[in-house]
Amino acid sequence: MWKIRGLLSQRNYWTLAAIGLAVPLVLWMTLTLSDSVNRVFLPGPLDVLHRIETWFGEDNLLDDIGISCFRVIAGWSLSALIAMPLGLLIGNFRVVQALLEPLTDFVRYMPAVAFIPLVMLWVGIDEAAKVAIIFIGTFFQMVLMVAEDVRRVPMAQIEAAQTMGATRIEIIEKVIIPSAKPALLDTLRITMGCAWTYLVVAELVAANSGLGYSIVKAQRFLQTDKIFAGIILIGVIGLATDQAFRLVHRLAFPYLHVRS
């Protein structure tokens, strides 16, 4: 059972996963039902569910979800649009790597939150500012991950193409990109997670809607149930997108999922 990297049947896996999810829920429930903690500090699961219901019914929950999804996807897509070609260049050409990688590494460690005043100054306080924060939070990470994905393409695959007479363009187009594609999709999936974590930060900037904004506002009014609701909703949306990415991975790359 405790064999290192041992096997586990599908059924046992999902049973354990269900237990892993259920135990904290039950603990949470008993803690709040026992009245040993103040509801203001720790609302019960039912309070949170109830809050989601009223949020949906009276407070335009769908609008909040919609605008937050838009901001996350916009910031993340913009980041992907630039990071993909740039990462491809860094991963393939040492010259570009030398020029840009240390710089990217340097900027990557700067906290995205600290850029808020600058973003407000340069971009303003409208929608673009929120997208910009999410972009800053994901872009530098993404560039380095894409470059790494490209570098991981086995040299033998590239050299085989060279000895078949492939040109540089052909090698990039017909070997490196198809070879790196599954890893690139994983990078997109992981950076999507980064993008969501920057949502609350992004919606600190003069927002008046969105899940992150609602969490911040609820904090001001000590509506802990709404804070819980917002956090859980973000978690659920994140989990759903993650699973969607995994499904696409299985459909797009059958060769990685065939039984040998």
Q: Give the binding site for another protein (CB under 8 A).
A: 154, 156-157, 159-167, 170, 174-175, 178-179, 181, 253-256, 258-260
Q: Quick one: 182 or 238, whose CB is closer to another protein?
A: 182
Q: Quick one: 1 or 155, whose CB is closer to another protein?
A: 155
Query: What is the nearest approach in angstroms of another protein to the Cβ of residue 256?
Result: 8
CA dihedral of 191, 146, 79, 120, whole degrees rounded to 10: 80
Query: What is the nearest approach in angstroms of another protein to the Cβ of residue 182?
Result: 8
Q: Quick one: 7 or 155, whose CB is closer to another protein?
A: 155
Query: What is the nearest approach in angstroms of another protein to the Cβ of residue 181?
Result: 8
Query: What is the nearest approach in angstroms of another protein to the Cβ of residue 23?
Result: 38
Q: Quick one: 8 or 164, whose CB is closer to another protein?
A: 164
Q: Quick one: 7 or 156, whose CB is closer to another protein?
A: 156
Q: Let me know: does 231 contact 224? Beta carbons within 8 Å.
A: no
| CA pair distance 44, 228, nearest whole angstrom | 10
Query: What is the nearest approach in angstroms of another protein to the Cβ of residue 166?
Result: 5
